[in-house]
């Protein structure tokens, strides 16, 4: 592809991402699957430009609004070229030449305002913090409540691309053995600082094509997610329920902790999500897990299974504000109504899952959210209504597990461990 064709592809893909309710990674994957003729270098260039535009969306939109230009996908791409790349008009005319697969020629108005923007810096002293740090204005107060004086550092960290973390499958390899297996395929991995199973790869690789992945030695999982699973404290012989299992990422970690011994039930209301876990379990050599599709309330199954589990993990559906490094488009699709609906749903799920915990058992509540509404406030409400449960410190002097990209280098996570009284 020519450089101009890459820019046009990024414009088309940006329009699809912004026009779809689906996460950007899913839209992008579908878009490239339908265009298998695009080579790997071209894919990388298109992907990088698209994500850089998404990460600077507030900046670009602020400038376009300032000069009274409609923020279309084409306008954002032009603004990105002018402000971020400082592209001169001659370069833009060469890229936007109207040739086959390339963007249409610049209009006279576009030539004027791109020259004006090319003289500017991306940042401007009049920008409010929510523009400078790229988050929705309506979340400003909540994020300040969470981070206080650390807001700038935390928001900057959320703008950086996430690194690739792996979890070593202890059923098949030690961490050193997994490192050696990856190195044999010219994939360099180093131990993470916090998770005893974690590996970090410094650059993008085609991990799915590696023998180490196909043989089930490693699984892609952010270090923060590994720590949340570790907090469950699953042990061989226990009865454990992953109540919102999705595609089974944390179930895989729990099964490994249990050494394939005991009873592990992976639940979800989506049969599609659960079905995707089957191949992952098989690849990992896991055979102590049962998948169960819940109806909307899960009332019958919960009634039958009440009080039978030593550990119950609730990886609750949430705003995903802690994963903005991976999904920079998601923040702009989030609304106050979404947050209100999610907090109601989280409370309902937490209440239902608590019924499964046996006396003396533990309930672990996890979100990949940074918002107090979904985290501390949710736990406070639950404990006020559930006198037989009490919060258990995750470590001396620390009530909850709180992870952020700036502090721990992980995705943003919150976790609380709640113990049910024995009597």
Q: How many CB atoms lie within 10 A of CB 381?
A: 15
Distances in Å between the alpha carbon of 169 and those of 101, 184, 294?
Answer: 45, 18, 28
- In DSSP terms, which residues pair with 190 in a beta bridge? 200
3-state secondary structure 22-91: CCHHHHHHHHHHCCCCCCHHHHHHHHHHHHHHHHCHHHHHHHHHHCCCCCCHHHHHHHHHHHCCCCCHHH
Residue 153 CA to residue 406 CA, distance in Å, equals 7
- In DSSP terms, which residues pair with 165 in a beta bridge? 200
Q: Distance between the two ends of the chain, CA-based, in angstroms?
A: 69
Which class for 301: exposed (0-12), middle (13-18), buried (19 or more C-beta within 10 A)? middle
Q: How many CB atoms lie within 10 A of CB 149?
A: 7
Backbone phi, then psi, for 387, in 5-degree steps?
A: -65, -15
Own/partner pairs, 1-6, CB within 8 angstroms, 24+ separation: 1/38, 1/39, 1/42, 1/101, 2/99, 2/101, 2/102, 3/95, 4/94, 4/95, 4/96, 4/97, 4/99, 4/101, 4/102, 4/103, 5/101, 5/102, 6/42, 6/45, 6/46, 6/49
Which residue from 313, 280, 274 is spatially nearest to 413, judged by alpha carbons?
313
Q: Are 183 and 270 in contact (CB under 8 A)?
A: no
Strands 309-315 and 239-242, bridge-based pairing: parallel
Strands 198-201 and 289-293, bridge-based pairing: unpaired
Backbone phi, then psi, for 363, in 5-degree steps?
A: -115, 125
Residue reference for tokens 């379990």: 281
- In DSSP terms, which residues pair with 366 in a beta bridge? 315, 415
Q: Catalytic residues, which ones?
A: 368
Output the six-digit token pair for 227.
């720590």
């Amino acid at each position: 592809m020519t450089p101009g064709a890459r820019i046009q592809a990024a414009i088309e893909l940006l329009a699809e991402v912004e026009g779809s309710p689906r996460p950007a990674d899913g839209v992008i994957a579908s878009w490239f699957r339908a265009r298998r003729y695009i080579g790997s270098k071209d894919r990388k260039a298109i992907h990088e430009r698209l994500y850089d535009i998404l990460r600077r969306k507030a900046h670009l939109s602020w400038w376009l609004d300032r000069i009274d230009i409609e923020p279309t996908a084409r306008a954002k791409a032009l603004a990105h070229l002018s402000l971020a790349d400082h592209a001169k008009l001659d370069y833009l005319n060469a890229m936007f030449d109207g040739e086959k697969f390339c963007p249409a020629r610049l209009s006279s108005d576009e030539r004027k305002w791109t020259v004006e923007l090319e003289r500017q810096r991306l940042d401007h002293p009049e920008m409010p913090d929510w523009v400078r740090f790229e988050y929705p204005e309506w979340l400003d107060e909540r994020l300040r409540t969470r981070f206080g004086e650390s807001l700038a550092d935390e928001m900057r960290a959320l703008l950086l691309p996430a690194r690739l973390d792996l979890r070593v499958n202890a059923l098949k390899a030690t961490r050193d053995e997994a490192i050696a297996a990856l190195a044999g395929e010219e994939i360099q991995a180093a131990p993470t600082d916090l998770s005893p199973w974690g590996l970090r790869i410094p650059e993008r690789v085609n991990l799915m094509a590696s023998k180490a992945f196909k043989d089930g030695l490693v699984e892609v999982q952010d270090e923060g997610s590994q720590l949340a699973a570790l907090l469950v404290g699953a042990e061989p012989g226990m009865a454990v329920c992953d109540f919102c299992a999705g595609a089974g990422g944390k179930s895989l970690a729990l099964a490994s902790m249990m050494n394939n011994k005991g009873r592990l039930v992976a639940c979800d209301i989506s049969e599609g999500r659960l079905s995707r876990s089957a191949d992952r379990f098989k690849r990992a050599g896991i055979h102590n897990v049962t998948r169960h599709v819940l109806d909307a309330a899960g009332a019958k199954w919960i009634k039958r299974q009440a009080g039978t589990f030593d550990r119950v993990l609730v990886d609750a559906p949430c705003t995903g504000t802690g994963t903005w490094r991976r999904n920079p488009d998601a923040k702009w699709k989030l609304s106050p109504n979404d947050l209100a609906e999610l907090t109601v749903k989280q409370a309902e799920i937490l209440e239902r899952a608590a019924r499964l915990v046996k006396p003396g058992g533990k309930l672990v509540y996890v979100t990949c959210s940074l918002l107090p509404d979904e985290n501390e406030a949710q736990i406070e409400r639950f404990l006020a209504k559930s006198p037989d449960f009490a919060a258990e410190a995750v470590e001396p002097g620390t009530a909850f597990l709180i992870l952020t990209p700036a502090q721990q280098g992980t995705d943003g996570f919150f976790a609380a461990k709640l113990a049910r009284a024995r009597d």
